[in-house]
Structure 1
Amino acid sequence: MPALVNSAEGANLVDLWLLYALAGIGFAWIFGLAGRFAFCHTTLMAVGAYTAAYAATHDVPFWGAVLAGTACAALVAALVGLALARAQHFAFAIGTLAVSQIGVVVFSRSGTFTGVNGQVHGVPFPTVFGYTLDTDRDIFWLLLAFVTLALLLGVFIRRSPLGREAVAARDAELVARTAGVPVRRIHLTLFVLGSATGGLAGALLAHWQGFVGIDSFGLDLGIGIFLMVILGGTHSLWGPILGAGFYVWAPKLLSGLDEYRAAVYGGLLLLMIMLCPEGLTGLAARARAALARARDRSRTKEGEHA
């Protein structure tokens, strides 16, 4: 890891930032691009984590375990998406909420697959080209590589016919259906892709921590991923990354406030949403536009004085 941090805690937070950014990118494809809210995103992250943990503890190599976790999350998402294919936006959200509740019960009771009380220990660290990544500074590069690949895939999706049709279906679904856009297929495709990315994040989390617990994928994380995408900006590729950074680092920066930290953090979130509803990327765009206008005015004044 480059000299971004000078402590073990800081290195851990950087890795957590990248992991949440990866999960947020997947959720952004579902929510920001397709316009569908899925409560079960963390449940599918858990599917990826438990599948990878099960495979790894049964002597499957790291890459095979991660691939199995990602594929299993994609398969479950496909089944859920097909079952809810006819559901409108609100009904789809309620349906995915039901899936998340079912997942909590299954993970906590399925002892053979998910361990006693949903806890799996002894997941081996990632091994890449014969080198074991057993420290936060080592696994940084692995997480950074996966985030980079997810960003590149996001660029491809947004510039492809799938991305353009998804935007049309999101902004004017009735018009898109009238024009022959396969709205259901688009929603299902983005839901599966986003959920598979969440499953990948869960699989990487299992190998990084060496432990999987049902509490790691609760409602708090689901709300947190939603906040990451909203705070970062739903219509930008960089939104989930900026939002994840804010979500991870803001509580750390406010740690000196002790008992008032939660209230200050909540107030800061509220101000962000009120004053900058388009997210941090929208704020940056407004700042660039203001600077451009200032430069134009300066050049105009220089031309008048010339």
Structure 2
Amino acid sequence: MSVSKLLPEGRVFAKDATARVVPPPPIYSTHPLRFLAIVTVIAILVPFLFGGDTYAIDLLNSALIHAMLVLGFYWCFTLGGRFTFGVFAVYAAGAYISVWAANQLGGFWAGLIVATLATAALGCLMQLLFARSSLIFFAIVTMAVGGLLLIVFREWTAFTGGYEGLSEIAVPSVFGFTLDSHDSIYYLVLGVLVLFLLATALFLRSPAARDLTMARDKGPVAAVAGLRPKHLQLVAFGVGSGMQGAAGSLYAHSTGYFSLEAFNIDVSLLVLLMLLLGGMNSMYGPVIGAVVLVYLPELLREVQDYADFVYGVAVLVIVVAFPSGIAGLRQTVERRLRHAGSQ
């Protein structure tokens, strides 16, 4: 008979009569907050490497905003188990709602908060309405809802400007300091992304993450155990949608102009590819995938005639040969080496 002991640090060990110790789950054997701190410090120093190059900083901003989008998708799909093709519409909703709220309610921060809450509510509504749908049907429905939202945005020109776009966009500010430079926008986006990553890391080390995993993989068993699978997935989908809305808000306020052309189904496909490339099972997979796919076309400019072919082959090789993505590259190589050594 085994007895479980919960240590103050939150690590769980089990000891039986033979004094064998069962190791804690992998997430408790790592130091995600320490690693996040190191990554944050590196990210803070990165702009200095480009010496004020505006185009380079714009690429960095694009990578961070896409990373936020993919992190939201990670919450919806990897954690919540609900695949959605509606990322592009939630992204657009976050942008337009943020601009409206910023103009009506007193600035950028009001816009960011309202957009995040509104898109989180939109995600929860979709999950509630189609909670009983199969995974494939749910994905199709979210794409259809996204298409309907884009039609609304196209026709509601007083709110969105349609294809003519919006140019009267509030400039972000912090403690009275206007963030109107590319560098300052970078640090703003980085700060929000790090906050979301921190929240994700803390969640993954909490009992709620284990409950959500059980609800995602073993729904009926979770229900028998007293959990509420649909409620847990609702929260995960709402959080992920809110992050996507925040990405839309930051995109809108980081540019002086944007239009409906920036939001289409290609955004959802790109987000899916970024997650697969970076790694579905790591909270850093979204960041890695976003950075790689934003910068890869730039690196292939020297072979522009063959860029699409090289781009496609490179992504295909990584996705097929390393299904855990770049974030799981080390574990994949170690596993294959152990397998080869055992033969």
Given the two structures, how large is their TM-score scaled by the length of structure 1? Answer: 0.90
What is the aligned counterpart of 2:172 among 86, 101, 126?
126
Paired with 1:210 and 1:144, the residues of 2 have a C-alpha distance of 19
Aligned residues of 1:109 and 1:117 also touching (Cα < 8 A): no
Query: Which residue of 93, 98, 119 maps to 1:47?
Result: 93
Q: Which of the residues 1, 4, 14 maps onto 2:60?
A: 14
Pair 1:149 & 2:195 matched: yes
Question: 2:258 matched to 1:228?
Answer: no
CA contact (8 A) 1:50 1:212 kept: no
Q: Is the 8 A contact 1:108 1:118 kept in 2?
A: no
Q: Write the distance in 2 (CA, Å) between the matches of 1:108 and 1:191.
A: 26
Contact 1:107 1:118 survives alignment (8 Å): no
Whole-Å Cα distance in 2 between the matches of residues 36 and 205 of structure 1? 25
Could you say which structure has the higher helix fraction?
1
Q: Report which stretch shifted further, 124-133 or 240-249.
A: 124-133
Shift of 1:289: 7.3
Which deviates the most, 110-119 or 240-249? 110-119
Whole-Å Cα distance in 1 between the matches of residues 178 and 107 of structure 2? 12
AA aligned to 2:151 is V
> In structure 1, what is the Cα distance between the partners aligned to 2:100 and 2:164?
12
The count of residues paired between Structure 1 and Structure 2 equals 292
Q: Do residues 255 (structure 1) and 301 (structure 2) align? A: yes
> Who is 1:304 aligned against?
none
Instruction: Find out whether 1:201 has 2:247 as its counterpart.
Output: yes
User: Match of 2:181, as an amino acid?
Assistant: T
Which runs of no fewer than 5 residues in structure 1 stay unpaired?
A: 294-306
C-alpha distance in structure 2 between counterparts of 1:289 and 1:275, whole Å: 13
1:22 touches 1:197 (CA, 8 Å); kept in 2?
Answer: yes
Q: Which amino acid aligns with 1:170?
A: R
Q: Whose RCO is larger (CA < 8 A, sep 6+)?
A: 1
**Superposition pairs of residues 175-194 of structure 1, within 5 angstroms:** 175-194=221-240
Provide the residue aligned with 1:301 in structure 2: none
Shift of 1:118: 6.5
Residue of structure 1 in register with 2:128 after alignment: 82
Aligned to 1:296: none
Q: Which residue identity is paired with 2:238?
A: V
CA deviation after TM superposition for structure 1 residue 262, in Å: 1.0
For 1:59 and 1:92, how far apart are their aligned partners in 2? 35
**Contact 1:42–1:217 (Cα < 8 Å) also in 2:** yes
- Please report how far the alpha carbon of residue 82 of structure 1 lies from its aligned counterpart in structure 2 after TM superposition: 1.1
Residue type at the aligned position of 1:164 = R
Task: Calculate the aligned-residue CA RMSD, in Å.
Answer: 1.9
Contact 2:87–2:267 (Cα < 8 Å) also in 1: no
Distance (whole Å) between structure 1 residues aligned to residue 302 and residue 201 of structure 2: 39
Q: Does 1:31 align with 2:77?
A: yes
Q: CA deviation at 1:159?
A: 2.0
Residue of structure 1 in register with 2:206 after alignment? 160
Residues 234-276 of structure 1 deviation map (CA, whole Å, 9 limit, x = unaligned): 1111110101111111111111111211111011111111111
- Per the alignment, residue 237 of structure 1 pairs with 283
Residue identity matched to 1:54: W
Structure 1 residues 42 and 118: alpha-carbon distance in aligned structure 2, compared to 1, 3 A threshold: farther
Matched, 1:5 2:36: no
- 1:178 deviation in Å? 3.6
User: Which structure 2 segments of 5+ residues have no match?
Assistant: 1-43, 339-343
Q: Give, in whole Å, the separation in 2 of the partners of 1:212 and 1:78.
A: 27
- Tell me, in whole angstroms, the C-alpha distance in 2 between the residues paired with 1:103 and 1:184: 25
Q: Distance in 1 between matches of 2:290 and 2:163?
A: 29
The one-letter code of the counterpart of 2:49 is L
Q: Deviations over 1:120-158 (max 9, x none)?
A: 212122111111111211111111111110011101221
Q: Residues 169 and 183 of structure 1 are in contact (CA less than 8 Å); yes or no, is this contact kept in structure 2?
A: yes
Q: Give deviations 1:42-81, integer Å, cap 9, x for gaps.
A: 2111111101111223362111111111111112112211
The one-letter code matched in structure 2 to 1:158 is L
Q: How far apart in 2 are the matches of 1:121 and 1:50?
A: 12
Asked if structure 2 preserves the Cα contact closer than 8 Å seen for 1:110 and 1:118, the reply is no
Following TM superposition, by how much is the alpha carbon of 1:27 offset from its aligned partner in structure 2, in angstroms? 0.8
Q: Equivalent residue for 1:57?
A: 103
Q: In the alignment, is the contact (CA less than 8 A) between 2:277 and 2:326 conserved in 1?
A: yes
- Secondary structure (helix, strand or coil) at the match of 2:133 reads coil
Segment of structure 1 superposing worse, 135-144 or 278-287:
278-287
Q: Aligned pair in 2 of structure 1 residues 119, 134: CA closer, same or farther (>3 Å)?
A: same
Q: In 1, distance between residues paired with 2:243 and 2:178?
A: 23
Tell me what 1:298 maps to. Answer: none
Equivalent position amino acid for 2:290 in 1: A
